[in-house]
Chains A and B, each alone.
Chain A
Amino acid sequence: MKISYNWVREIAPVDWSADEMADRLTLAGTACETVIDLSAGFAKMVVGKVETCGPIEESDHLRHATVNVGEQSLNIICGAPNVAAGQLVAVALVGAVMPDGMKISRRKMFGIESEGMILSERELGLSDEHEGIIVLADGLEVGAPLSSIYGLNDYMLEFELTPNRPDSMSAIGIARDVAALAGCEMRRPEVSLTEEQEKTSDSIEVIIEDAEFCPRYTARIVKNVKIGPSPKWLRDKLAASGQTSINNVVDVTNYVMLEFGEPLHAFDLAQFASGKVVIKRAKSKEKFVTLDEVEREVDESVLMITNGSESLAAGGVMGGLHSSVTNATKDILLEAAYFDASLIRKSRRKLGLSTDSSARFERGVDPNLTVTAINRAAQLLVEVAGGSPLAGVVDNYPKSIEPLKVELRPARCHQIMGVKVESERIEEILVGLEMGVTRSDSGEALVVTVPTFRPDITREIDLIEEVTRIIGFDNIPTTKGYLAATDNRKSEAVEKQDDLVVTLRQTLLGIGFNEICGSGLADGRLLELIDPEKPQIEVANPISDEFGSMRNSLAYSLLNAARVNVTHQTTDLRLFELGNVYGAGIGDKSQAFPNVISADHERPCLGVLVTGQNQPDWRSSRSALDFYVLKGAIEALRAQGRLAKILISPEKLPVFQRGQGFVLQDRTGKEIGRIGNVDSAILKRFDIKQSVSLFELDVAALTGFIQREKNYQTLSKFPAADRDLSLVLNESTLVGKMLEGVKKVGGELVERVQVFDLFRGKQVPEGKKSVAISIRYRSAKKSLESSQVDGLQQKIIVYLKQEFKAEIREK
């Protein structure tokens, strides 16, 4: 909301500068965001008289004008259609700076040097009107500075008001805060009126069909007005409050709205030939043309002001085009109403229109202000449009809305603020805000009568807030009650999961994986490509398709991150994310493990992606960042997280290449994740032209598999014996299965088995692979004899020959 600084000071006479006023109001919760100096900005701008104006041959729309600006005539090229000789216009001279920062300079076009600019309202920041130039009223002195017309000796205060403060949406409302802060008396405008004999009630009747949504409707008739421009004082005040002047009648309704906060509407009385104002719900699918010349469809959520048969205004939002005041209007019906706030909210949504009127009604105007406001408007119409008000108003107000009484205990105020405020000071503050204050019978509480312009104040705490904001937060001492001890135990399950997440993150960071953070919102089409079977949670009102769903796997975020990096030539990636995936019911606590900590429709997961190669080094060759790196990472996580064994089992999975996707299982065979090489069709959609491997693990499920603290195992004092073995195996032989077999046959004397070489090629027959393993033997009880080791080694060789058709290669 914008309001004139001078206007506020007329009502609350303080000697604060505009900036000081803005700061003090802001620190009292009436946020004044900007202060615009209206006297500035018209430097090097003058009144000019257009002497000649003609077309330019080479241009289809530009015209060449000569403009007298007092001591000289200037050549100006102008694009506006309405320039004509004889007009008085606003001219920016060379060197002037426009509100948007543009500097006027000499410009040569079509062989003519343009020496200035003829201005439109928009160029001056006065309105959005840019169709034509401003044509000034006759009688102005040519060459006079423009600031004498537009330059107001005033400031525009622009407020960013919170929705709980309808009371401050007017000059009086702002002045009330100023007066309370400064401790001065308010000077409200005096409303007095000389009326005709004829009564308003003889000409018009007000029928409210829906009193729930229109609790009050006040009408008044002013006859014989002369429509015309407003006087300068009125235009200036409106301009300094961000309102464009339209005509004297409309300006008066806007003026009173800005002054009191009560939106008014002026109808052409001729539209009410029926003698009735009927307020009723619109019909379903009713068409209505609003003042802005747009036909809109309305329904029962919109309250219409009608003459019984025709809709003339959308109540509280905007008038209709056909009932508006025109130059031919003689008699006026003024409306001051009180509409239900939530109804106006619905209406303006339905209409897709937010107006100064709806903004006030939907926050809540004062129901007891209608008569004062309508009389004030009539008074001003007499003054600026020469109208004759009929006697009295027609005021349909079936159920009077009374001010609320709220008790405030100074002790409670102390308890909340942490500082004692004397009850006399509290009383002074509330009275300053125009509340009534008396003492309760016991004398312990203040009984506060809350005026109806403060619908936000219904409870003691609301009054404490008023006291706080007027005293100012700065005057409340800081204290250290925040150090008080509390019971902060987490449940065992939460503790376990939190610990696991930290361990997973720290381990992955330690082994070279970088953490990413996806937004959680995802493109549903890509999610479907990644896994067509998996249901998605869809956003009902997305900002775009790109953010239309919730991700149901971390693969989506990881692949997106991979795409971004690969695009920027960062092709070697180790990425991970610890975050939620979303799906209806996926957090169901009964479904999985006893210790799962997740919400109903989301689940914490770990996703890990690798692609490209290890960093090159001057003494070791590059190796791929692939599936096997992921297996190594899982093993590291398992060890660091004290997790029970994770098994890998082949299965056809949507996101992965056929035959290269696997389910990760816990010991019992339950699925806890998946791992594999990403399908090339999916990579193509993500613009990734290199192979990518990833795995996802369900963190919630893992939490159930943390092993209890382990017991110490004694260290063997005896030496180990290492034996290597070179094998030629069929391509189809799974090395992992073979290693398991070796351990089983070797028994407890086999301490570990490692694969240290694998190759195919010239020395190896077609369809075979050569695998070299190293076995370490050790006993906990004694030194092993070399004959005993050789015997075991032989047993293993026999086993490998029989079970895996292995050939032993001699060295």
Chain B
Amino acid sequence: MSVLSQIEELLSKASAELQSASSAADVEQVKVRFLGRKGELPAILKGVKDLAPEERKPVGAAANKARVSLEQQVNERLESFESSSSADFDFTLPGTPISVGRPHLLVRTMADIAEIFSSKGFLVANGPEVESDNYNFGSLNFPPDHPARDMQDTFYLREANGLPEGLLLRTHTSNVQVREFEKRTPPVKIVAPGKVFRHEAVSSRAYCVFHQVEGFQVGPNVTLGDLKGVLLAFCQEYFAEDIELRFRPSFFPFTEPSAEVDMSCLLCAGKGCSICKYDGWLEILGCGMIDPNVMKAVGYDPEVLSGYAFGMGVERIAMLKHRITDIRLFYENDLRFLRQF
């Protein structure tokens, strides 16, 4: 059989197979078998170089014509399959819902805060919410019957149902300070996130329960400068690089010197706006150098050691960061609120 008739036969065979192909995959197979690098048509063409020079030209032309024709048929067949299978494929239909839960904003905020301190080598510790007067006040240098106790209105617990007398709901996570000091030998660096309770009327600005992150460091040479340093580093990492802090001397029984710390307003950068009440500053935390009486109460020698402590309200920080205007939303647990974060 001449090469030319071989080509003709191959073309009609391939055409027939393409017509009977029932899927795009079949068409691809036919294409590979006849046109592929190791397919039948290239195999025929390989023999062309053995032909006499005058025969080469017509064979080459016929082979080329056959290839073009086959390629065209392949494409037509592929198109016919594509259009029939994508006709009912609507890529705009909604994706299958896959439920993912959201962490509570307060839990997330506490974890974010703790994470920053963890990265600076602070240990994250917890302490009890039902607490004794001693751990909440006494060992933190709140003398009994001192006006300082009025600063933190306290829920006291009834001696009933098996509960011993003299217990209260902690008013700050500073109780963790004393409890950890008792267990550890300095140097120590700890942050204590957790729930605290204050006897306060519920309103959009205040709730009788809130969360706090207390942090402290005790060591041989811990200074007020270090306290300023750690708070500035935290605020710049958590809020924004260009945050500035302002320290206003204040009073807390368990620290001395003490200060309240304001942060330059996130929104107006100190120029004054409704968020900062046109002050340019936002009050965010309280801090100070740990009072020698607190050190003595846990057997640390204040002559050898010094330390700082700070405490921040988690709700306050979350409210500032996300511009939340009503603190009660945190405890209502309305998913329309919780799932925004």
Query: Contacts A417-B225, A516-B338, A570-B335 given: A482-B217 contact, CB under 8 Å?
Result: yes
A598: nearest residue on chain B (CB-CB)? Answer: B128
Q: How far is the CA of A518 from the CA of B233 in the complex (A)?
A: 32
Interface assignment of B157: CB less than 8 Å from any CB of chain A: yes
Q: In the assembled complex, how far is the CB of residue A557 from the closest CB belonging to chain B, in whole angstroms?
A: 8
Cβ-defined contact, A517 with B199, below 8 A = no
Interface assignment of B78: CB less than 8 Å from any CB of chain A: no
Total count of chain A residues near the partner, CB < 8 A: 98
Cβ 8 A contact of B161, one of A342, A485, A535: A535
Query: Contacts A417-B223, A417-B225 given: A602-B129 contact, CB under 8 Å?
Result: yes
Interface assignment of A737: CB less than 8 Å from any CB of chain B: no
Cβ-defined contact, B107 with A163, below 8 A = no
Q: In the assembled complex, how far is the CB of residue A96 from the closest CB belonging to chain B, in whole angstroms?
A: 25
Q: How far is the CA of A506 from the CA of B81 in the complex (A)?
A: 46
Which A535-563 residues sit within 8 Å CB-CB of chain B?
A: 535-543, 547, 550, 557, 560-561
Cβ 8 A contact of A163, one of B103, B150, B246: B150
A473: nearest residue on chain B (CB-CB)? Answer: B247
Interface assignment of B207: CB less than 8 Å from any CB of chain A: yes
Which B75-131 residues sit within 8 Å CB-CB of chain A?
A: 93-94, 96-104, 106-107, 120-124, 127-130
Across-interface contacts of A481 in B (CB, < 8 A): 217, 219, 221-223, 225-226, 229
- Report the contact-size class of chain B (Cβ under 8 Å from the partner): 35 or more
Cβ-defined contact, B156 with A565, below 8 A = no
Across-interface contacts of A561 in B (CB, < 8 A): 332-333
Cβ-defined contact, A618 with B197, below 8 A = no
Query: Contacts A417-B223, A477-B225 given: A488-B121 contact, CB under 8 Å?
Result: yes
Interface assignment of B248: CB less than 8 Å from any CB of chain A: yes
Cβ-defined contact, A584 with B151, below 8 A = no
Cβ-defined contact, B120 with A363, below 8 A = no
Interface assignment of A777: CB less than 8 Å from any CB of chain B: no
Q: How far is the CA of A27 from the CA of B261 in the complex (A)?
A: 11
Cβ-defined contact, A599 with B129, below 8 A = yes
Cβ-defined contact, A474 with B338, below 8 A = no
Interface assignment of A162: CB less than 8 Å from any CB of chain B: yes
Q: How far is the CA of A542 from the CA of B291 in the complex (A)?
A: 32
Across-interface contacts of B100 in A (CB, < 8 A): 509-510, 512
Cβ-defined contact, A543 with B209, below 8 A = no
A546: nearest residue on chain B (CB-CB)? Answer: B202
Interface string of B320-336 (1 = CB under 8 A from A): 00000000001111111
Interface assignment of B155: CB less than 8 Å from any CB of chain A: yes
Q: In the assembled complex, how far is the CB of residue A512 from the closest CB belonging to chain B, in whole angstroms?
A: 3
Q: How far is the CA of A540 from the CA of B229 in the complex (A)?
A: 42
Cβ-defined contact, A582 with B199, below 8 A = no
Interface string of B123-155 (1 = CB under 8 A from A): 110011110000000000000011110110001
Across-interface contacts of B258 in A (CB, < 8 A): 465
Interface assignment of A328: CB less than 8 Å from any CB of chain B: no
Interface assignment of B299: CB less than 8 Å from any CB of chain A: no
Interface string of A170-193 (1 = CB under 8 A from B): 000000000000000000000000
Q: How far is the CA of A568 from the CA of B107 in the complex (A)?
A: 24
Q: In the assembled complex, how far is the CB of residue B145 from the closest CB belonging to chain A, in whole angstroms?
A: 5
Query: Contacts A162-B250, A519-B331 given: A483-B120 contact, CB under 8 Å?
Result: yes
Cβ 8 A contact of A600, one of B128, B148, B219, B225: B128
Cβ 8 A contact of B335, one of A415, A535, A573, A587: A573
Cβ-defined contact, A600 with B130, below 8 A = yes
Q: How far is the CA of A469 from the CA of B260 in the complex (A)?
A: 12
Cβ 8 A contact of A521, one of B99, B120, B197, B225: B197
Cβ 8 A contact of B256, one of A28, A461, A542: A461
Q: How far is the CA of A560 from the CA of B199 in the complex (A)?
A: 22
Cβ 8 A contact of A462, one of B256, B306, B336: B256
Query: Contacts A468-B224, A478-B232, A520-B209 given: A542-B155 contact, CB under 8 Å?
Result: yes
Q: How far is the CA of A505 from the CA of B101 in the complex (A)?
A: 10
Cβ-defined contact, B333 with A486, below 8 A = no
Cβ 8 A contact of B334, one of A164, A473, A565: A565
23 contacts between A and B (CB under 8 A): A29-B250, A342-B145, A342-B146, A346-B145, A363-B147, A418-B224, A479-B225, A479-B228, A482-B226, A490-B123, A505-B103, A514-B102, A521-B197, A535-B162, A539-B157, A539-B158, A540-B156, A543-B202, A557-B333, A580-B129, A584-B163, A599-B130, A602-B128
Interface residues of A (CB under 8 A from B): 26-29, 31, 162-165, 341-342, 345-346, 362-363, 415-419, 459, 461-462, 464-465, 468-469, 473-474, 476-488, 490, 498, 505, 508-521, 535-543, 547, 550, 557, 560-561, 564-565, 568, 570, 573-576, 579-580, 582-585, 587, 599-602, 614-615, 617-620
